[in-house]
């Protein structure tokens, strides 16, 4: 059975959430915005309207300190971070290993489930694909210079990364490639002999 590693990051990676429990259920919808029109002589026709926005819905749980899956991050901390990202209206990058999901999304809904006698918190997260203004202008056939963007397009893949305290090659591979197993490629590019001893401040070539 395939497992899916899910990583969310905000503000170009300054804040990130790695779900230690793989989602029990993960649904991706990819609709088209087709339009049905009536014909003058009777009948209907379906007109292709282009691809709509993808929606991702995942169900997992946030382990409490008593859980064997606990890694030091309290469920309340993760929930507070998710809710703050949702309220900010900023896009987050969603990366799901083993899939083509590695794009900007907006958090549409954060649903938590609390069960009597269980300190773990059930979580259902719904996200919808985010389109940057420049992409919308291109789709609309807009002309002229685009308005300056206030934030960096988070879909742009940087060429280097500076190691911070607590980083591992697995985390870095998940963050930029959507697949933690690619840590070996990063290690080979940068001559890292021991992946457990990353030097803080070292600039890695991605």
- Per-residue pLDDT tens for 77-101? 999 999 999 999 999 999 998 888 9
The answer to whether 121 touches 113, Cβ cutoff 8 Å, is yes
- Indicate whether this model's pTM tops 0.75: no
Please state, as a whole number, how many other Cβ atoms lie within 10 Å of the Cβ of residue 154.
Answer: 19
H or E element in which residue 202 lies: none
In the chain, domain spans:
1-32+51-140, 157-206
- Per-residue pLDDT tens for 133-156? 655 555 555 444 444 444 444 445
Segment 32-56 shows an average pLDDT of: 87
**Domain 1-32+51-140: CATH class, spelled out:** mainly beta
CATH number of 157-206: 3.10.350.10
- Count H helices and E strands in the chain, helices first: 4, 11
User: Residue 110: what pLDDT?
Assistant: 96
Q: Is 152 helix (H, G, I), strand (E, B) or coil?
A: coil
User: Residue 151: what pLDDT?
Assistant: 47
Sequence-ordered list of residues with C-beta below 8 angstroms from that of 117, at least 6 positions apart, any chain: none
Instruction: Name the percent of the chain lying above pLDDT 70.
Output: 86
**Count, residues in the chain:** 206
DSSP strand E in 130-205: where? 160-162, 203-205
């Amino acid at each position: 059975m395939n497992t899916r590693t899910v990583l969310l990051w905000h503000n170009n990676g300054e804040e990130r959430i790695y779900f230690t429990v793989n989602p029990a259920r993960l649904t991706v919808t990819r609709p088209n915005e087709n339009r049905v029109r009536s014909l003058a002589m009777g009948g209907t026709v379906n007109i292709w309207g282009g691809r709509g926005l993808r929606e991702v819905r995942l169900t997992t749980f946030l382990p409490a300190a008593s859980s064997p899956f606990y890694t030091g991050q309290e469920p309340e901390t993760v929930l507070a971070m998710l809710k703050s990202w949702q309220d900010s209206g900023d896009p987050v990058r969603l990366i799901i290993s083993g899939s083509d999901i590695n794009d900007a999304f907006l958090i549409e809904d954060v649903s938590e489930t609390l069960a009597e006698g269980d300190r773990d918190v059930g979580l259902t997260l719904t996200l919808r694909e985010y389109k940057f203004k420049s992409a919308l202008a291109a789709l609309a056939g807009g002309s002229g210079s685009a308005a300056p963007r206030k934030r960096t397009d988070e879909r742009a893949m940087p060429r280097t990364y500076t190691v911070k305290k607590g980083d591992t090659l697995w985390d870095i591979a998940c963050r930029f490639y959507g697949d933690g197993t690619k840590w070996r490629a990063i290690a080979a590019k940068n001559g890292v002999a021991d992946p457990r001893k990353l030097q803080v401040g070292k600039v890695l070539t991605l």
